[in-house]
Amino acid sequence: MAGLEAVLALRSLAENRVSIELIAPEHDFVYRPLAVAEPFRAGEARSFPLARLVEDAGASLRRDRVAAVDLGGHVVELPDGGRVEYDALLVALGARPHEAVPGALTFAGPQSSEALRAVLDEILAGQVHRIAFALPSGVTWSLPLYELALLTANFAVDHMAGGVEIALVTSEDRPLALFGEQATETIVELLEEAGVELYLGTTPVEFAGGELQIAPGGSIEAERTVALPRLEGPRLPGLPCDRDGFISIDSRCRVSSEVDVFAVGDATQFPLKQGGIAAEQADTAAEHIAALAGAPVEPEPFKPVFRGLLLTGMAARYLRSEPGGRGSEVDTEALWWPPAKISGHYLAPFLASKLGIASLST
């Protein structure tokens, strides 16, 4: 997601001053944000040939992996020993999901859809009557968990599966607090209307024997538990990282003191791991790279704006705020355009025009 946004931004800002090569192992670009809707058959994580998208974005694709970076030599090293020289480098490797609540179903995206669908089938068969959705400590992007709980509640109602109890267990003090007080009030109201029990300030520890163990103590009864994963950074050799593998960046998304190496998205130390934030970081890095290439651009430091589209099973909610909950907005009407799940300045209209992604936003 961040890599394509960076390609589009750099081509727009630097025009023909640079040649752009995207190194990626995938054959397809997967639009992941709608993965939460897939088990409910309310949306799907669509995929498209990556090579075509990269070509249309004005870059070339090298289908490979990055094994290490030689900062002194301005070289990216590949697994087979190949080396790719660069004048500027942007790293958008993402993060690796790991189980955070042993015994729970870890929902990590499209690859988890079938497992969650099996749980929904158990609900329809009357085999599961109580399910918990759990947010582990250290997970900063909680919106997908609220979507899963609300979508499950509405799924049960739509399919007349009576007697299903749903709990949402989160280590947060306030639901979706990064979007401000208005968003918190909205999500609490939605959960109450859907009959979802909310446990705040509660850390899920382990699920076993029909009980979700919690901290600081006690347990919550549940026949199934679904949890979000904890993320680990890519630990790319040659780049400085913290103990969890995340890459250190400054306000310009530069890596350490390097003037021509940038990192964006979930691979970085920035605490919020979300596609829209990754796209904003990609724009910041692209501005600085374009300036290095001589483009008439005045690059700005990274100033995040939080945007989230909350799927509920009924009317979706558009959420927007700035750090500290400033400028908090919540609406059933679009707060950005095109009204896609990921609001990348360049990527969203690019996908909307070529692939019709915007139509899959709700």
pLDDT of residue 108: 94
pTM of the model as a whole? 0.94
Query: pLDDT digit string (tens) for 315-361?
Result: 999 999 998 878 899 999 999 988 888 788 999 999 888 766 555 45
Average pLDDT, the chain: 94
Length of the chain: 362
- Other beta carbons less than 10 A from residue 124's beta carbon: 14
Q: Return phi, psi of residue 307, to 5°.
A: -130, 135
Query: pLDDT digit string (tens) for 239-286?
Result: 999 999 999 999 999 998 899 999 999 999 999 999 999 999 999 999
For residue 207, the SS3 value is: strand
pLDDT of residue 356: 66
User: Residue 305: how many CA atoms within 13 Å on its side-chain side?
Assistant: 16
**Which of 321, 328, 323 is closest to 302 using CA atoms?**
323
Query: pLDDT digit string (tens) for 35-85?
Result: 899 999 877 777 889 999 999 999 999 999 999 999 999 999 999 999 999
**Which of 101, 35, 51 is closest to 275 using CA atoms?**
35
Domains and their CATH numbers in the chain: 2-25+64-95+233-303 (3.50.50.60), 98-229 (3.50.50.60)
pLDDT of residue 362: 43
Q: Return phi, psi of residue 178, to 5°.
A: -65, -20
**Which of 340, 311, 275, 316 is closest to 148 using CA atoms?**
311
- The secondary structure of 230-245, three-state, reads EEECCCCCCCCECCCC
Distance CA 137, CA 107 (A): 15
Query: pLDDT digit string (tens) for 279-292?
Result: 999 999 999 999 99
Please give the average per-residue pLDDT across 281-304, as a whole number: 97
51: its two tokens: 């090579």
Please say if the pLDDT value at position 86 is more than 90: yes
For residue 310, the SS3 value is: strand
